[in-house]
């Protein structure tokens, strides 16, 4: 998503040239390209697929909508398996229209996971509940903190359901370091994503994630938390940023790689 | 602030006609009108001043800036006392430019409160730390949850430092009901403010607070939490909303009163 202006073949080629060995893919471009063709493309390029983004949106109250959402998530699990992605990231969904019941919506996410978890396990895929920043609680994700995500995940085995830790969503939360330790101890950190916090936020607050190093987040600190919790898997830079999308994708990928090395690794 | 298009005399008159007996004032219009004159105006109109908004912005690292901020907060305490407002609301302030140290900024707020608390007590004013929604953590308020605000407040006597509970800032937080109970048990709920959560958020996310009843927050539920915690003081509707500001202020006040009665009281 960071360089969504690149086609999948351009992305595979650019990752190879940049020394990026693992990539998180989104469902829409994968489906547009063809799942099997995309799987072959990344395999031939020597890339692994760290995660597939994203399933979820499991909060509907209407039974027909719920059944459709589950069906779509089953498809997402199958796509992840076909790509060799071990992890499917889930964004829970917001409040149904007119509802003010956050608790009820969170319970419906749990209900769906009781079906989706075993289905994912049969396909060799783990689910990662991603808590989104509280500014998305009404319209995108009723799971707002790592604590809430873990409370949900812990109802299921760790090899079925864990969490996604994304710096953009949790950086403000003084409880997050302890929750990362809790997640790590249970083997439930299923992916670690990085984006920086920059202001002012744009209208709609979706596409303002900052390039690594441009904002308020101490990336090394958060890398330290997940590593201390035993996580040594892929680190994904996931930026939604109109400014970056307007630039040359290969240039953005090179810049992002450099920023990652400078602000996260070194 | 809900009807900032009204001058202070217009506001005092309109409150009287709407049956609003208590009003939260902001410092800027009070200072522009003259503090003593404003105090006389509201007194003559039979109004009480529920809170004065706002002091705070106590996170600067630079000693000169810190001294200036303290001086400004001393003035705010004196203004609150002159208005007969028992409570001064504090917005803590964001990260200093270039800083990524939320913890350090929160500690500097505590340092300032150790000076400001006794000063306020001598003037018969209580300080209310207002946790702001986490989307303001970098640029406006490093105190993002009621738990954090109470952790700060509890270092001081309750008659010096408590918290402001604002539905807009805490509605997403599943821990907030327990923290309200904690605050109430200690006599630290110093004011209760209402605004609804509506999306999409506007650019900059400052002026998108929804009219009561227009959004995702169950107002009766939150009123129930503060009342169960023993709070029976003023309830303040505090909306920052470009759409409301563009309309006739008396009409907005009447609408807000009607919404308050319909969605909060009845």
pLDDT of residue A266: 81
Say if CB B170 and CB B131 are below 8 A apart: yes
The predicted pLDDT at position A6 comes to 98
pLDDT confidence of residue B90: 98
Which residues in chain A are closer than 8 Å to B201, comparing Cβ atoms?
Answer: 135, 201, 203-205
Tell which CATH architecture fits domain A8-265.
Alpha-Beta Barrel (3.20)
Q: Model pTM?
A: 0.97
Q: What average pLDDT is seen over chain B?
A: 97
| Mean pLDDT confidence for A16-41 | 96
Q: What is the predicted pLDDT for the residue at B134?
A: 98
C-alpha–C-alpha distance, residues A210 and A228, integer Å: 25
DSSP letter, residue B201: P
- CA torsion sign for A237, A239, A245, A251 is negative
Chain A CA closest to residue B135: A135
A6 with A45: CB under 8 angstroms?
no
| Alpha carbons A250 and A232: distance in angstroms, whole number | 27
> Domain segments of chain B: what residues?
8-261
Test mutation, A133, A134, A263, chain B, max B CBs within 10 A: A134
The 3-state DSSP class for residue B41 equals helix
ipTM for the complex shown: 0.96
Please report the pLDDT score of residue B107 as a whole number: 97
* pLDDT tens, residue by residue, B144-155: 999 999 999 999
For residues B93-114, one letter each, b for 16 or more C-beta atoms within 10 angstroms of the residue's C-beta and e for the rest, the string is: bbbeeebbbbeebbebbbebbe
- List A residues 59-98 in contact with B (Cβ-Cβ < 8 A): 95
Q: pLDDT tens track of chain B, all 266 residues?
A: 999 999 999 999 999 888 899 999 999 999 999 999 999 999 999 999 999 999 999 999 999 999 999 999 999 999 999 999 999 999 999 999 999 999 999 999 999 999 999 999 999 999 999 999 999 999 999 999 999 999 999 999 999 999 999 999 999 999 999 999 999 999 999 999 999 999 999 999 999 999 999 999 999 999 999 999 999 999 999 999 999 999 999 999 999 999 999 999 98
Residues in contact with A214: Cβ distance below 8 Å, sequence separation at least 6, in sequence order:
A196, A198
- Residue-wise pLDDT for A159-172, tens only, equals 999 999 999 999 99
The reply to whether B225 touches chain A by the CB within 8 Å rule is no
- Report, as an integer, the average pLDDT of A141-156: 98
pLDDT tens-digit map of B117-126: 999 999 999 9
> How far does B29 lie from chain A, in Å, by closest CA?
26
Would you say the C-alpha torsion A170, A172, A175, A180 has a positive or negative sign?
A: positive
The C-alpha atoms of residue B38 and residue B239 are separated, in whole angstroms, by 22
CATH code reported for the domain at B8-261: 3.20.20.150
Nearest to A100 among B148, B199, B217 (CB): B217
Q: What is the pLDDT of residues B176-227, one digit of tens each?
A: 999 999 999 999 999 999 999 999 999 999 999 999 999 999 999 999 999 9
Chain A stretch 192-211, residues whose beta carbon is closer than 8 A to a beta carbon of chain B: 197, 199-205
């Amino acid at each position: 998503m960071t360089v969504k202006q690149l086609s999948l073949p351009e992305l595979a080629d650019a990752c190879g040239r940049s020394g990026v060995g693992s990539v998180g893919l989104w469902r829409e471009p994968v489906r547009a390209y063809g799942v099997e063709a995309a799987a072959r493309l990344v395999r031939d390029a020597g890339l692994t697929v760290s995660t597939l983004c994203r399933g979820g949106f499991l909060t509907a109250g209407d039974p027909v909508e719920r059944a459709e959402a589950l069906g779509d998530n089953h498809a997402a699990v199958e796509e992840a398996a076909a790509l060799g992605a071990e992890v499917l990231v889930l964004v829970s969904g917001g409040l149904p229209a007119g509802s003010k019941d956050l608790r009820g919506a969170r319970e419906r996410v749990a209900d769906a996971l009781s079906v989706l978890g075993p289905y994912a396990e049969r396909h060799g895929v783990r689910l990662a509940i991603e808590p989104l920043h509280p500014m998305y609680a009404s319209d995108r994700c009723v799971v707002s903190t790592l604590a809430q995500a873990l409370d949900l995940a812990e109802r299921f085995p760790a090899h079925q359901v864990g969490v996604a830790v994304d710096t953009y969503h949790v950086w403000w939360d003084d409880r997050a370091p302890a929750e990362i330790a809790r997640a790590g101890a249970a083997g439930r950190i299923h992916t670690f994503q990085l984006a920086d916090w920059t202001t002012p936020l744009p209208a709609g607050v979706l596409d303002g994630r900052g390039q690594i190093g441009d904002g308020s987040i101490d990336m090394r600190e958060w890398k330290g938390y997940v590593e201390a919790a035993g996580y040594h898997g892929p680190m994904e830079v996931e930026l939604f940023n109109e400014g970056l999308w307007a630039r040359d994708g290969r240039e953005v990928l090179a810049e992002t790689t450099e920023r990652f090395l400078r602000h996260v690794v070194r």
